[in-house]
Structure 1
Amino acid sequence: MTDAPEFPSIPALFDLGGRTVVVVGSASGLGQSSALGIADAGAHVVCADLDEAGAQSTVELIAARGGSAKAAALDVTSTESVEAIVAAHADAAALVMTPGLNIRKRMLSTTDEEFDRVIDINLKGTYRLMRGFGAEMAERGRGSIVTFSSFRAIVVEPGQGLYAAAKAGVVQLTKTLASELGPSGVRVNSILPGPFETPLTVQIKSDEEWWNAYAEKTALGRWGILHEIAGPVLFLCSDASSFVTGHSLLVDGGWMAQDGRFSPRV
């Protein structure tokens, strides 16, 4: 009989001290909150975004909290831009990808150009980053990749077709890369946020009925608060999730857990 392994310190498993984490889409919204949370855990964060000024603002927020970060310009629709950031940060211990574009239109009213734009940012941009950083991590034999899909990968509503299709594709890319890189020691997981107030949901907030309906559909009866994404991201980036890969983690306030149409008097 072999001795049981020593039980580790659980708080230490969440410690990212000495590691570099690249957070794409960190200028605002869920990406900015992810970057702040990861920096709080001790990582040096590369805040990458098409909006470099916004990324720099996130760097300043991290610095004000005593953390370490730098800004980097990145266009996820450009293979050359992605390859450049991979080369510059090939030693990254983790990659988090949050960029998204949603064009809310009924499918019969959409255009080829809108389809291509939504797919290029949400799906192909994620693919480019996964491919680049995945190769580097596989060579080193370790690393964590966290993609951002959406609860819309599972359930839809009228006007969400292009976005839902792209985000469903992200889930499948995540599972595939998890399968392919698992033997190399690289983990790949996806977060599926529910309703959070971000730049992507400004259109919904402008319609009180639409906004309130979303809140009422969740089991918690409200929208998510931006900082509430940081814990799940940290978990998947850290050693606390060392046996978790190929997973789709819903962070949706219980949206998918209940029917939501009616509360019977029972």
Structure 2
Amino acid sequence: METKDHTDAVEAYSRLFRLDGRKAVVVGAGSGIGRESALALAAHGATVVCADRDLTAATESASMGPGLVPYALDVLDGEAVARAAEGASEPSDVLVFTAATNVRKSLLDYTAEEFERVVALNLRASFDLVRAFGRGMAERGGGSIIGFSSIRAVAVEPGQGVYAATKAGLVQMLRTAAAELGPSGVRVNTVAPGVVDTPLTAQIRSVPEWSEAYASKSALGRWSRPDELAGAVVYLASDASSFVTGSQLFVDGGWTAIDGRFTPPS
């Protein structure tokens, strides 16, 4: 009997990261981290809706493998978000959202329009997504919501104050969602990347000195690739993280573990 139980446990562990029979919606799947997240979820058995404002980009992502379906979605349109959640032929088990924007300016130079633009996409759209998809998950008694915060949620940098504020706000909002939806079986977590080579960071990457300065800040001494965030998404979407909620998972190459750098004299 003990041998049988052990065999059953091993078999269960072998399926720990599998997502067969589950439906995931990835918002921002047209490029970067969103695209890699969609591909990774599909590779583990999920049917994945690749949602993006740019339908051409979403379609390109969906063409990269089986189980991927493109969907045009502008998350700044709250009614469109509600329709996406309510009008799906199959309920969503997993929601991942990566869409974000940044305006690099000091606070004193920010305009009200720029402030509203960053807050609208980074925070208000996230609020709409969590409410729209979280409601259905709570009614069905389960689901996993995964938002993308940033190292800027805990470590600020001059010129990124509004971006940092939205990411810190997102963490607290999703922690609250974890507390409120937990009794209904819904888990809510955030992934916090460090510096990732994506369209959002192209401005930095285009300046060699700036790019190298960012790379040298982490323990691993380099920028991450978008695909290096995909494992965290699969983990948080799967039963491997069945008792993980209200957490922020840092995938930052050790950036937030380091306070300064010292090279001993030779």
Task: Specify if TM > 0.5.
Answer: yes
State the secondary structure of the residue aligned to 2:156: coil
- Residue identity matched to 2:23: T
- Tell me, yes or no, if structure 1 residue 49 matches structure 2 residue 57: no
Report SS of the residue matched to 1:236.
helix
Query: Secondary structure, in 3 states, of the residue corresponding to 1:13?
Result: coil
State the alpha-carbon separation in 2 of the partners of residues 112 and 248 from structure 1. 30
In the TM superposition, 1:23-102 aligns within 5 A as: 23-62=26-65, 67-89=66-88, 91-102=91-102
Distance (Å, rounded) in 1 between the aligned partners of 2:152 and 2:207: 19
5+ residue gaps, structure 2, are none
Equivalent in the alignment of 1:22 = 25
Structure 1 partner of 2:241: 241
Q: Which residue of 2 aligns with 1:106?
A: 106
SS state of the match for residue 75, structure 1?
Answer: coil
CA distance in 2 between partners of 1:178 and 1:188 (Å): 5
TM-align CA RMSD: 1.5
3-state DSSP class of the match of 1:191?
strand
The answer for unaligned runs of 5 or more in structure 1 is: none
**Number of aligned residue pairs:** 259
Q: Which residue of 6, 9, 17 corresponds with 1:7?
A: 9
> How far 1:263 sits from its partner (Å)?
3.1
Q: Percent identity?
A: 52
What is the TM-score normalised by the length of structure 1?
Answer: 0.94
Alpha-carbon distance in 2 for matches of 1:193, 1:43: 23
Task: Give the structure 2 partner of residue 211 of structure 1.
Answer: 211
CA positional deviation for 1:260: 3.3
Change (3 A) 1:265 1:139: farther
Cα-to-partner distance string for 1:37-65 (whole Å, 9 max, x where unaligned): 11110111000010111000000012xxx
Partner of 2:166: 166
Amino acid paired to 1:234: V
**Local SS of the residue matching 2:35:** helix
How far does the alpha carbon of each residue in 1:66-122 deviate from its partner, in whole angstroms, 9 at most, with x for none?
x21111111111111101110123611100000010111111111111000100001
Query: Does residue 1:137 correspond to 2:140, yes or no?
Result: no
Provide the rounded CA distance (Å) in 1 between the counterparts of 2:170 and 2:94: 17
Name the CA distance, whole Å, in 1 between partners of 2:109 and 2:37: 34
Aligned to 2:125: 125
CA distance in 2 between partners of 1:208 and 1:85 (Å): 41
Counterpart of 1:165, as a letter, is A
Secondary structure at 1:103 match in 2: coil
CA distance in 2 between counterparts of 1:50 and 1:137 reads 24
Q: Determine the C-alpha separation between the residues in 2 that align with 1:252 and 1:170.
A: 18
Q: How far 1:7 moved relative to its partner?
A: 3.0
Amino acid in the other structure paired with 1:34: S
In the TM superposition, residue 262 of structure 1 has moved relative to its aligned partner by 2.1
Distance 2:149 2:223 in 1: 17
The answer for the alignment partner of 1:154 in structure 2 is: 154
Cα offset, 1:257, TM superposition: 1.0
Instruction: Report the equivalent of 2:222.
Output: 222
Q: Distance in 1 between matches of 2:248 and 2:136?
A: 23
Three-state SS of the structure 2 residue aligned to 1:101 is coil
Code of the residue aligned with 1:159 in structure 2: it is: G
Give me the whole-angstrom Cα distance separating, in 2, the residues matched to 1:88 and 1:43.
19
Higher mean displacement: 90-99 or 256-265 = 256-265
- Structure 1 residue 265: Cα displacement: 5.3
TM-score (norm 2): 0.94
